[in-house]
Amino acid sequence: MHDIVGGPQPTAVRVAGRSNFTGQDSIAAMFGSISVMDNPLTATPSMNSTLVGRAQGIYAMSSQEKELSLLMTLTYAFTTGPYSGSTFSVVGRNPVMKEVREMPVVGGTGKFRLARGYCLARTYSMTQMEAVIGYNVTLLHY
């Protein structure tokens, strides 16, 4: 997944944030910020690899101190391949600076109807403008 927050064509846009913060802590300054995303899902970490779907949803900066964490609600929608038209949804806490983050899969549609499971997220690369995150997903579905 490619989360692009800057440049001419961002895929994640901040829609709410703090305006009254006066401290020096950059994590505390982001607390309460909410972003909406429509991120490309590619077959490999390369942006030039095959587009297989979109990761659409919302994430909110949910930590006030030390550890940067997000509350994420995302739907992974597949647009090509054997899972085209199917989705699964992830809702949970994402402590983004940890090497591996585990989040629950809470449902799905199409071939993933009634899905339950988990995903393991790993950051492949991160800059101020873009993060590339890999997801290893284990699903049980109907």
Would you state the pLDDT for residue 102?
Answer: 97
* Domain segments of the chain as ranges: 2-140
What is the value of pTM for the model shown? 0.88
Written as six digits, the tokens of 130 are 């873009």
Query: d(Cα 24, Cα 4) in Å, to the nearest integer?
Result: 25
Helix (H) / strand (E) element for 26: namely helix 26-30
Closest-CA residue to 77 (of 100, 57, 47): 57
Q: What pLDDT, in 10s, does the model give residues 98-133? A: 999 999 999 999 999 999 999 999 999 988 888 999
Query: What whole-number distance in Å separates Cα of residue 37 and Cα of residue 3?
Result: 8
Rounded to the nearest integer, the mean pLDDT of the chain is 91
Q: In terms of CATH, what superfamily is 2-140? A: Allene oxide cyclase-like (2.40.480.10)
Q: How many CB atoms lie within 10 A of CB 100?
A: 10
pLDDT of residue 110: 96
Contact between 57 and 72 under an 8 Å Cβ cutoff? The reply is: yes
Q: What is the pLDDT of residues 1-59, one digit of tens each?
A: 899 898 899 999 999 987 777 777 777 778 889 999 999 999 999 889 999 999 999 99
